[in-house]
Structure 1
């Protein structure tokens, strides 16, 4: 236990220092978190200071981190506003998600030769985006409140919702698909129907809670300090996440829908600010854990995989977002929007981590390492290229 607290404290301090160091740069701290995980992994291979309990503790911190991260993603979603913009945003979103997924699948299955299920994991992972990285730059240059900025957020929110839904189905169906050669089609079909039925039940529970219970619970716990309200919201978050887990889905799926449930609450902004403390402690552990899961002895074989997937990640978003966006935006604005959709981080890596850690090992160490490389490259490449483009666009206005 003492070793865990020592490692926990060091990681908190190092990630906080890295975040502080990058505060005035355009590189997101996610990159530092993953590198901390890679370095920790390398040091542990040399000195063996992490025992089973330390690894279990870090995995628990990582689970809490992704739950809090996706809760905030859901909390900050403006679903009612999104419904009003659905016609404009959905046209771009359809191209964005479908092309990204197809390009990812083709790259994994036919270029790199991975299995069908591994390629499906990669396709769903590349359909997602991490718009927070680009949105921070848009905000810095005063572009987030423009019509193009609103469109970016709307398309990204649809991206999040579709990625979570596809992730839910994939996580449930992957074990059945893996056993498809040993079970009949009728049995497999029945299992899939049961899984989809459980998903529909979970979504109905979330809808009923958001519609009829959430406001009453928050009113009951409301105090002038706001602490009770925040604690109650956290309690609901963990209950909904646990319910998703009990039904056979990822805790993170429950977390984002818990966030959606609270996104309409008048106290949403206050809840969001109160999350900062937990966000900065626990969320880095999710990315540190990703770095710690990379097989360092396979780095050399993962590099070409990462290179191919990086090209697929860029091509999928540039073409999938760009072609439909040309119907509503100028060419330069279209390129900036498409470029802003390229980063892959939390949802993409959550999908790959699930496949990598599953007992059936849907995702190989080589594919997982390649996708970690994609996350690092897209999170560095996009801000470096996007910054001067937004700067020039702002100066023209």
Structure 2
């Protein structure tokens, strides 16, 4: 019963907050993130974290990335593969160095400092995807590069995490070769499944004499790919994104997109946005404000500089490079998962755990207005250019 009341509060507050943000010239997603903090334990306490909330949240982020896959131009993604790799590498090296330096200044040991750097190397583009979708920029070259870079980033960070743990935790119970093999196996499987199995499933489900067979088939593929990704130690959102791309190559793309978006954005996606704010707590925050401010500045700048330089060396203009760097700032749920692993493995001290979580959430809150400013300026320039040409 309590969850139904919380769901009521979430849906009502996210729609109102999103509309207010749009009125103020900001992406709707920013209001949804902020309202999660307001109605969560940090302020009003109307919504508490729970297993049910997390389950709805997980479905929401999977559907969000699945829809992003549906709207992704595969040819454009392939054309920008070198840029995506370059952006991902730059977006790992700079935060890794910055996080390590921050750990040393905080008095952490070598292992803890390296872990902190690795944590801030992670990227979660689910918030960026929603913001770019709100701005009508999801199919731009910069957005496609951001999505590609996020996939590479996820793989490299997990491999580096395993490498770090094999040295400092349990003395080698993590097989690096096995981990890399799982990544290769995952991409080999999704290529085969996306090419042969997905079209077959969609065609076989379409004529069944029950309701919404195409939509059900799409969800089966989405959750199946996500499960496959998680079982091979890759983020489930990567599997969902790959499933969206696979279905986008079939004749059922428009129908799936038309039927699935209302399901996702009516219930599950709003819960995902709120769940981020619900994890915020302000207990003991005043004593660590300088630390939180310093780590936040480091987290933002290292992604903009690292990813921006990675984009620049592969031919993007400085303006586009900065946009790509901004799109990679959000650490989101990926960094939160890594932080939890670090706490469990004693690679992240308990005293700093809350501060790190707050920094991760701040990077998520910073991303939408920053992307709005950067991409909004480009749209305005394009509009002015169009007016000039028409004159």
TM superposition score normalised by structure 2: 0.81
Equivalent residue for 1:314, pick from 278, 298, 304:
304
Kindly report which structure 2 residues correspond to 1:109-128, keeping only aligned pairs within 5 A, or say none.
Answer: 109-113=100-104, 115-125=113-123
Task: Give ranges in structure 2 of 5+ residues lacking alignment.
Answer: 105-111, 387-391
Q: Is the 8 A contact 2:206 2:213 kept in 1?
A: yes
Deviations 1:138-170 (A, max 9, x none): 65xxxx8xxxx7432442342233234335545
Distance 1:112 1:205, change over 3 A: same
Equivalent residue for 1:100, pick from 82, 91, 107:
91
The equivalent residue for 1:282 is 268
Q: In the TM superposition, what is the alpha-carbon distance from 1:59 to its structure 2 partner? A: 0.9
1:180 paired with 2:180, answer: no
Equivalent residue for 2:278, pick from 292, 314, 335:
292
Q: Is the 8 A contact 1:129 1:345 kept in 2?
A: no
Q: Is the 8 A contact 1:129 1:156 kept in 2?
A: no
Q: Is the 8 A contact 1:336 1:386 kept in 2?
A: no
Q: In the TM superposition, what is the alpha-carbon distance from 1:346 to its structure 2 partner? A: 9.8
Q: In the TM superposition, what is the alpha-carbon distance from 1:314 to its structure 2 partner? A: 2.8
* Higher mean C-alpha displacement, 383-392 vs 284-293: 383-392
1:377 paired with 2:366, answer: yes
Counterpart CA distance in 2 for 1:47 and 1:182 is: 38
Equivalent residue for 1:66, pick from 58, 61, 65:
61
Counterpart CA distance in 1 for 2:18 and 2:130 is: 15
Kindly report which structure 2 residues correspond to 1:19-30, keeping only aligned pairs within 5 A, or say none.
Answer: 19-23=18-22, 26-30=25-29
Q: In the TM superposition, what is the alpha-carbon distance from 1:223 to its structure 2 partner? A: 4.8
Q: In the TM superposition, what is the alpha-carbon distance from 1:367 to its structure 2 partner? A: 1.9
Equivalent residue for 1:210, pick from 179, 194, 214:
194
Q: Is the 8 A contact 1:290 1:353 kept in 2?
A: no
Q: In the TM superposition, what is the alpha-carbon distance from 1:182 to its structure 2 partner? A: 5.3
Q: In the TM superposition, what is the alpha-carbon distance from 1:27 to its structure 2 partner? A: 1.9
Task: Give ranges in structure 1 of 5+ residues lacking alignment.
Answer: 327-333
Q: In the TM superposition, what is the alpha-carbon distance from 1:344 to its structure 2 partner? A: 4.5
* Higher mean C-alpha displacement, 212-221 vs 96-105: 96-105
Counterpart CA distance in 2 for 1:32 and 1:197 is: 41
Equivalent residue for 1:368, pick from 331, 339, 357:
357
Kindly report which structure 2 residues correspond to 1:1-397, keeping only aligned pairs within 5 A, or say none.
Answer: 2-23=1-22, 26-42=25-41, 50=48, 55-83=50-78, 86=79, 89-113=80-104, 115-125=113-123, 130=128, 133-134=131-132, 136-137=134-135, 139=137, 150-166=140-156, 169=159, 173-174=161-162, 177-178=164-165, 180-181=167-168, 183-184=170-171, 188=174, 191-223=175-207, 227-280=212-265, 281-300=267-286, 301=288, 302-325=292-315, 334-344=317-327, 348-358=331-341, 359-360=344-345, 364-397=353-386
Q: In the TM superposition, what is the alpha-carbon distance from 1:131 to its structure 2 partner? A: 5.4
Distance 1:11 1:345, change over 3 A: farther
Counterpart CA distance in 1 for 2:370 and 2:6 is: 31
Q: Is the 8 A contact 1:127 1:163 kept in 2?
A: no
Counterpart CA distance in 2 for 1:150 and 1:30 is: 19
Q: In the TM superposition, what is the alpha-carbon distance from 1:231 to its structure 2 partner? A: 0.9
* Alignment coverage as a number of residue pairs: 367
Q: In the TM superposition, what is the alpha-carbon distance from 1:247 to its structure 2 partner? A: 3.9
* Higher mean C-alpha displacement, 255-264 vs 129-138: 129-138
Tell me the secondary structure at the aligned position of residue 77 of structure 1.
coil
Distance 1:306 1:203, change over 3 A: same
Counterpart CA distance in 2 for 1:360 and 1:42 is: 27
Q: In the TM superposition, what is the alpha-carbon distance from 1:228 to its structure 2 partner? A: 0.9
Distance 1:211 1:168, change over 3 A: farther
Counterpart CA distance in 1 for 2:154 and 2:70 is: 15
Q: In the TM superposition, what is the alpha-carbon distance from 1:361 to its structure 2 partner? A: 6.8
Counterpart CA distance in 2 for 1:194 and 1:228 is: 38
Counterpart CA distance in 2 for 1:131 and 1:217 is: 27
Counterpart CA distance in 2 for 1:361 and 1:60 is: 27
The equivalent residue for 1:329 is none
Distance 1:291 1:10, change over 3 A: same
